[in-house]
Homo-oligomer: A and B are copies of this chain.
């Protein structure tokens, strides 16, 4: 343990003095040591060690204009933040990747539109180098708030693009919802099913929309009766399944917009005396552990690499930041990233 006087911590000046070099050289060593002769590098390193020197972040930020911190914006209504496994995994990915970049995670918790002013002020105040936010509902104003703050940002999940005209596109990271949905439906088709229904997620979320699109990609002329609206909860899945059974009792397969709705549908299916997968095959989406394996039969579903998406959000943001730094103005909006999904076959289809 390096000793350290109670009040003030050693400065670069002290390190330089101890190593018998100038502050400039000490600085160079601390920042990688490029272009400094090995013997001096060693001397400085040793001084740093002995003094227990840690760079003063504020001083460094003041001159470099880099904070080494990025904001993660969490909108309360949307997520039961830490209890939602989805969200937890994403934040874990972000946190891990940020550590690799030696950047800090500043959590901005938004409880409602009333907080937008505060968020805008903070973001605009140059406290963080960039922001990470999550795709929300169609009518959420947060994206505009972030954009107006002129802080480089990356979204998790494809955002609804406001206006749509000359607006700068925000880069985002999303799973291949559409492709995943196609795979799910194709699986059902390959099983010989011909009356394949879809229990859709809420229309104001792009992930739900994209999954619906994927369904239609495969089933070009699907009977509208076979498509039912849910809201991503198990309850809504059960309700949708009940409707389905009423209007199209001949249904022989269901692609649910997520695992939760699939679990609700499964319950109703069994209550109606149907066997899964024999009578009705069922595929979900998300591969949410707690649901997928707790259910009988275990659910065939589409997996997305959620933690990986979190990591990618960080990488993408860092690239945007580098562009900013390099030539002053953007090199053009960086491409968004769509991560692949994989079909996980279990017993339900």
Contact = CB atoms under 8 A, between A and B. Distances in A.
Interface stretch (A104-112, A217-225, A278-286): A104-112
B106 A106 contact: yes
A133 to B, nearest CB: 15
Contacts of A81: 88, 91
B7 A328 contact: yes
B126 A9 contact: yes
Given A54-B121, A54-B125, A61-B58, A107 B109 contact: no
Assign chain A's interface to a size class.
35 or more
Given A81-B88, A82-B88, A55 B106 contact: no
Contacts of A118: 99
Interface string A119-145: 001101111000000000000000000
Please give me the 9 A-B residue pairs with the lowest Cβ-Cβ distance, nearest first. A58-B61, A95-B109, A58-B62, A82-B88, A54-B125, A107-B107, A58-B58, A105-B107, A57-B127
22 contacts: A1-B148, A7-B328, A54-B124, A57-B58, A57-B125, A58-B58, A58-B59, A58-B62, A58-B67, A62-B62, A72-B107, A82-B83, A82-B87, A82-B91, A91-B109, A95-B107, A96-B109, A99-B118, A104-B106, A104-B127, A105-B106, A105-B107
